[in-house]
Amino acid sequence: MAKVTSADVARASGVSRTTVSYVLNATQGVSVSDATRRRVLDAASRLGYAPSAAARTLRRGRSDLVLCVLPDWPVGPAVEAMIDRLADELAGRGMSVLVHHVRGERPLTDLLRAVTPHTVVGLAPFDPDDVRAMRQAGIGVVSTFDDVASGPGATTDAAADDPQRRIGLAQAERLAGRGCRRIGYATTPDPRVAAFAGGRLAGVREACAALGLEPPLVVEVDLSERSGAEAVRAWRSAGVDGVAAYNDEVALAVLAGTRAEGVAVPDGLAVVGVDDIPVAALASPPLTTVWQSLDLQAAYLAACVTAALDGRPQPVRPRQEVELVPRASA
């Protein structure tokens, strides 16, 4: 069967394409008689009419599509929840959300040959060239990545508010608060999240300095008991009695290492993670961790996009909430 167009529907219902469009889009400000409306609707469903997104987009000059660009690294359920929430919010305005994982090689430009989004939302840092190209093409650009991507151009204020840094602070303060005298940092070998790990470590460093402790002893830990055990040995021989881990998974590897080495937790070595993944509470001992409030950020993201949609100025970013979840490991 050939593709059904609005002209087919018009013919089948004995009206013009104009009327078909009015009926199918429930256009405001025109009134179509009930009988006509019914005929059109009937014909459309009988023929299995599906409008052409491409034609619609071309004609209107803009699409009903919001594109979320995700980074290369594993984002975790938190970001997915944010996107879900965004999709909910936008559904109310008739917009759809689609997600793209950036792939090392292909530039965003290639993707934009296949799809014309209304606006693109970056959960990953954008290439400046891509941003220029998108703006040039009249595509709205929203980025939530200022904090990590800030780099040398960032203002001091922005850096001070870096949630990554504040995560590290919270970890170190917890360890110091329970009497740790020397702090270790369990970092991840994954280069894709180096920016995050760096920010968190900076926070730990800062807290150590403020508390008059030696700088943290940094050890790379992968997700194996062996790696955790090696790190535990290194820390122990340096007198480290508390460890902040890049995230909960790394913390779990450290915990496995303590078991292998026969080190008691938290008395021999206290451990604190980040994220509060579901299994953190199920660990032995249950893992103390730091949790980032999602709700506020999700609302902010949605607000950014709707502001972009309406051509309003971007809202101010709320301060990221960072909260300690105290359990037995530290």
Partner DNA sequence: CTGAAAGCGCTTACAG
Answer yes or no whether residue 132 interacts with its own copies by CB under 8 A: yes
Structure tokens at 75: 């984002």
Q: Which does 328 bind (CB under 5 to 8 A by kind): its own copies, DNA, none?
A: none
Q: Which does 7 bind (CB under 5 to 8 A by kind): DNA, its own copies, none?
A: DNA
Q: How far apart are CA 45 and CA 13, in angstroms?
A: 11
CA distance to 5, 19, 21, 304, per residue, from 27 (Å): 19, 10, 8, 27
Candidate ranges 9-17, 94-102, 167-175, 182-190; the one touching DNA (CB under 7 A):
9-17
Candidate ranges 11-19, 121-129, 223-231, 271-279; the one touching DNA (CB under 7 A):
11-19
**183: helix, strand or coil:** strand
Q: Write out the binding residues for its own copies, residues 71-130 only, by CB under 8 A.
A: 74, 77, 80, 83-84, 87-88, 91, 94-101, 103, 105-106, 109-116
Return the H-helix or E-strand segment holding 277.
none
Answer yes or no whether residue 223 interacts with its own copies by CB under 8 A: yes
Candidate ranges 134-142, 204-212, 268-276, 312-320; the one touching its own copies (CB under 8 A):
134-142
Return the H-helix or E-strand segment holding 135.
helix 128-136
| Count of residues that interact with its own copies, criterion CB under 8 A | 67
* Min CB(119)–DNA separation in Å: 18
Residue by residue, DSSP assigns 21-54 as HHHHHT-TT----HHHHHHHHHHHHHHT----HH
With respect to its own copies, which residue has the nearer C-beta, 54 or 238?
A: 54
Q: How far apart are CA 20 and CA 5, in angstroms?
A: 10
* Min CB(6)–DNA separation in Å: 3
* Min CB(15)–its own copies separation in Å: 21
Q: How far apart are CA 68 and CA 98, in angstroms?
A: 6
**Which amino acid appears at position 205 of this protein?**
R
Answer yes or no whether residue 175 interacts with its own copies by CB under 8 A: no
Q: Which does 31 bind (CB under 5 to 8 A by kind): DNA, its own copies, none?
A: DNA
Answer yes or no whether residue 189 interacts with DNA by CB under 7 A: no
Interior/surface letters 188-222, b for 16+ CB within 10 angstroms, e for the rest: bebeebebbbebbbbbbbebbeeeebeebbebbbe
Answer yes or no whether residue 283 interacts with DNA by CB under 7 A: no
**292: helix, strand or coil:** strand
Residues near its own copies, by CB under 8 A: 1, 3-4, 48, 50-58, 63-65, 67, 74, 77, 80, 83-84, 87-88, 91, 94-101, 103, 105-106, 109-116, 132-134, 136-138, 223-225, 228, 249, 252-253, 255-256, 259, 278-279, 281-284, 286
